[in-house]
Amino acid sequence: MIVITGAAGFIGSVVAGELNQKGYNDLILVDDFSKKEKERNYIDLKYKTLVDRNVFFDWFKENHEEVTFVVHLGARTDTTEFDWNVFQKLNVDYTETMFSLCAEYQIPLVYASSAATYGNGELGYDDSHEVVEKLQPLNPYGRSKNEVDKWILKQTKQPPFWAGLKFFNVYGPNEYHKGRMASVIIHSFKQITETGKVKLFRSHRDDFEDGRQMRDFVYVKDVVDVLFFLMTNKPKSDIYNLGSGKARCFYDLAVATFEAMGKPINIEYIDIPIDIRDKYQYFTQANMQKLKSVGYTADFYTLEAGVRDYVQNYLIGNKYL
């Protein structure tokens, strides 16, 4: 059996769907299933059982002998949440307990870290262990992910294989429920549908033009391909960046969305909200050399190709993967 936490969420549900496509139906889906807005993400999946996240560790202790792999994606991901206790419980304590149990039971584990650990990028975006202790995330979410990374690197008792994945800006199907935290692509699509234009953030720095803030956008289909590679090949246990390796600006993203919808380009610039202005990343770009060095050689979707697939095959028609 393969355990997937966060299985009702965005990336988790896509991972489960991809595993179904590859013939893996003996899945244990873990999440808070009381949130009805997530139901369409998993209702059509093939799985063995659903387990509430609050009782999962009890289930795991009783059934671990049947588990062959754990994909731990469940987390509080709201970058505007500032109550540290929420992150301590759902992100730090939960992941550290998961790692410890996988080490005890000798079960391979992949867990979600985040590019938010890199803060404003002053130390670059290199997934080297040497920088982990020095990183200064800009918000409690990023800090929670970095605290886990630091803790794991100090553990002497480990699963037979583990990988922490520093997700960059993931976008794609099954993120309808995410609200404010959904990707800029889905927000752009909704704005174009409703108003015929897209609102992008002005720059509050002299070295970036309005809308030219840059991020490493990675399509969720590439993310699940990397996850499957790690599950099946189990290369060197490590923390790996997971982005496209190429930063692109929000203006390019908006243009790609207009073009995918067949609409004329119409962009308006607005101020970055005060509550996130001093915590806003202006540039991210994953150094992908480490993942390539362990044998992952597949090409990643370009921004234009990923946006086109997402818009035309999913957002138009409100379809799920």
Catalytic machinery residues: 141, 178
| Cα dihedral sign, 229-240-106-235 | positive
Q: Three-state DSSP class for 123?
A: coil
Q: DSSP alpha helices (H): ranges in 22-91?
A: 39-42, 56-63, 84-87
DSSP conformational letter for 222: H
d(Cα 231, Cα 87) in Å, to the nearest integer? Answer: 27
CA terminus-to-terminus distance, the chain: 22
**Cα–Cα distances in Å, from 156 out to 5, 124, 128, 146, 153?**
24, 28, 19, 18, 8
CA 70 to chain CA centroid, nearest Å: 16
As given in the structure block, the two tokens for residue 316 are 């138009």
Q: Which residues contact 55 (CB under 8 A, 6 or more apart)?
A: none
Strand 238-242, strand 162-167: pairing: parallel
d(Cα 96, Cα 36) in Å, to the nearest integer? Answer: 28
As given in the structure block, the two tokens for residue 141 are 């979410």
**CB 47: neighbour CB atoms within 10 A?**
19
d(Cα 137, Cα 112) in Å, to the nearest integer? Answer: 16
